Structure 1
Amino acid sequence: MNALIVLLHGVGSTPADMAPLAGLIAAHDADARVAVPPATWPCDRGGAGYQWFSVDGITDANRPGRIRAALPAFVATVEDLQREYGVTPERTVLAGFSQGAAMALAACQDRFLARHVVAIAGRSAPLPDAWERRTTVALVHGRMDRTVPVQHSERAFERLAALGADVRLDVVPRAVHLLAPPLLERAWRAIDMTSWQCY
């Protein structure tokens, strides 16, 4: 039985924005089970997108609190999908882009929600002071990302490694903050590697 791969979009986006990654997964594995839920709230910056938490007036000081407040709804979304697909955390991969990555990293610090987290162009806010050891992490980040600088993933890698987590960092030299080549292919590679390890 294949793993359940949950794709988590960024702020102001919709599940359709994860289509390039979902399509790449399907092209390599026609039987892959992929779920792409919308974030909890309509985006408060207008448009048709969604958000896990508001970035209106966001600062380094208030971001951790907003993420903590958003966690119950995020965890409920993932657990609902696990029940729907009949899988356990051991057979779940969370692959998030930007805000989706931040939520996946936050949710797995102190609970076993997924066997693997693939955090694409995200940040851990704040850096964790604990980590659920059964959850492995792949951090994928573009070197030229100006929206969420690569230093966020580099610092997360250092902290997670210090906490004893099974963590990898893949910095993509020419990639920006966009789920497009070459970042897209490296994200797929990380998901493919982790999904085959679910057992």
Structure 2
Amino acid sequence: MSQTIDGPRLPAASGAAKSLVVFLHGFGADGNDLIAIGAEWRRLLPDAAFVSPHAPERCMASPSGRQWFPLTFRDPDERRRGVVAARPGLDAFLDAELARHRLTPDRLALVGFSQGTMMALHVGLRRKIPPAAILGFSGMLVSPEALKTEATGKPPILLIHGDRDDVIPVDALFAATDGLSAAEIPVEWHLSPGLGHGIDGEGLRQGAAFLAGALKPRRTSLRSTSQD
């Protein structure tokens, strides 16, 4: 990922960002696909700034859309190669956005959809300082066997999937939870009945509540001293 990436942003509703939520869109979409979720979540997350970058590559399967890496569905190793190649550019973007808001890396939350969930899990679990949370919709965990040696932390994770998903079947949800659990990384999950490859209202509600808890402002404990 050599190209500079960018995308639509929403400032914190409170006026001063205390956390950063980054949306990672799916294959063939772009950053405009998810930024509207940020507008919906601003009331529950007033201190969060939102950004939804466009993936760096044009998508051959959808020329008006973008991709984090190519997918032919013919090579079983292409997802692994794809997330590895795309990671440095996304990491650099995340660092730049955190610096823009003068935030520490632990105030970051990653929200992915489909291919964006692959990126959120791969990158988020390997950042030097883990993010505050990872939320994934309709995605999958790439190369779960590598987590035991490559994961750098255990951030809170919530995975949400539709039980009628015919693009990334629901089996991917359970494979991801099994892979994360094998690496001793706690994960919560929610199955949306009747939902295909998408995000429903209940998923949005649960996702927002999950992020609100993970991004809750830290309390600073003060030690009182007495003078004789």
Task: Give the TM-score, by structure 2 length.
Answer: 0.78
Compute the displacement of 1:105 (Å).
0.6
Compute the displacement of 1:197 (Å).
6.4
Secondary structure of the equivalent of 2:70? coil
Query: Within the alignment, does 1:179 sit opposite 2:218 as a pair?
Result: no
Compute the displacement of 1:195 (Å).
2.3
Match of 1:82 among 84, 94, 98: 98
Distance 2:94 2:100 in 1: 10
The number of aligned residues is 199
Matched to 2:136, the amino acid is: A
Provide the identity percentage: 24
Distance 2:116 2:181 in 1: 21
Does the aligned pair in 1 maintain the 2:57–2:68 contact within 8 Å?
yes
Secondary structure of the equivalent of 1:55? coil
1:48-197 → structure 2 map (5 Å cutoff): 48-111=64-127, 112-127=129-144, 128-130=146-148, 131-196=151-216
Compute the displacement of 1:14 (Å).
1.5
Q: CA RMSD in A?
A: 2.1
Match of 1:28 among 16, 29, 44: 44
Does the aligned pair in 2 maintain the 1:174–1:182 contact within 8 Å?
no
Which piece of structure 1 moves more, 75-84 or 98-107?
A: 75-84
Structure 1 residues 198 and 136: alpha-carbon distance in aligned structure 2, compared to 1, 3 A threshold: farther
Does the aligned pair in 1 maintain the 2:162–2:170 contact within 8 Å?
yes
Structure 1: gaps (5+ residues): none
Match of 1:38 among 54, 60, 75: 54
Compute the displacement of 1:114 (Å).
1.5
Compute the displacement of 1:100 (Å).
0.9
Matched to 1:162, the amino acid is: A
Query: What are the Cα deviations for residues 144-182 of structure 1, in whole angstroms up to 9, with x where unaligned?
Result: 111111211211112212222132111222222113434
Does the aligned pair in 1 maintain the 2:45–2:212 contact within 8 Å?
no
Secondary structure of the equivalent of 1:47? strand
Which residue is equivalent to 2:19? 3
Matched to 1:116, the amino acid is: A
Does the aligned pair in 2 maintain the 1:133–1:164 contact within 8 Å?
no
Structure 1 residues 140 and 66: alpha-carbon distance in aligned structure 2, compared to 1, 3 A threshold: same
Which piece of structure 1 moves more, 104-113 or 72-81?
A: 104-113
- Which of the two has higher C-alpha Rg? 2
Compute the displacement of 1:134 (Å).
4.1
Structure 1 residues 194 and 35: alpha-carbon distance in aligned structure 2, compared to 1, 3 A threshold: same
